Amino acid sequence: MNSKRKGSAGERELLGILLENGFDAHRNDQRYRGGMQNPDIAARFRGRPLHIEVKRAERLNLTSAIAQAVRDADGAAFPVVVHRTNRQPWLVTFRLDDFMTEVRDDARRAETDDDPTGFADPD
């Protein structure tokens, strides 16, 4: 399978998993537009936009992949790389600073929503 078809198959596979698990997600059409604010998959988690770059590769440069996600998300969404190799489970990679910002924001929302779990849904 060539790399372009493998990438498209990976995007469809991941989209199916996200949809099966209740995510509001859709796959972008890369034929006409790419780059800034045009992720492989756009999704929402707790009302927040996710910019998901999907990588299906045996050898992946994660530093380069997350840099692409951050650059292309352009501050408008949480940049995420979801990746896997052949016959292995999907993995999720994002920057620690982005994760800590999300945790702090969730904690602040929980304080104002009186949510004892600390995981208030903003919707």
For residue 19, give the CATH number of its domain: 3.40.1350.10
Q: Which domain holds residue 74?
A: 3-95
Q: Is residue 102 part of a domain?
A: no
Amino acid at 69: A
Q: Is residue 119 part of a domain?
A: no
Assign 111 to helix, strand or coil. helix
d(CA 3, CA 57): 8
User: What's the pTM value of the predicted model, to 2 decimals?
Assistant: 0.82
pLDDT level of residue 2 (50, 70, 90 thresholds): confident
Domain count, the chain: 1
Q: What percent of the chain has pLDDT over 70?
A: 85
pLDDT by residue (tens digit) across 53-105? Answer: 999 999 999 999 999 999 999 999 999 999 999 999 999 999 999 999 988 98
Return the structure tokens found at 48. 């927040």
Q: Is residue 105 part of a domain?
A: no
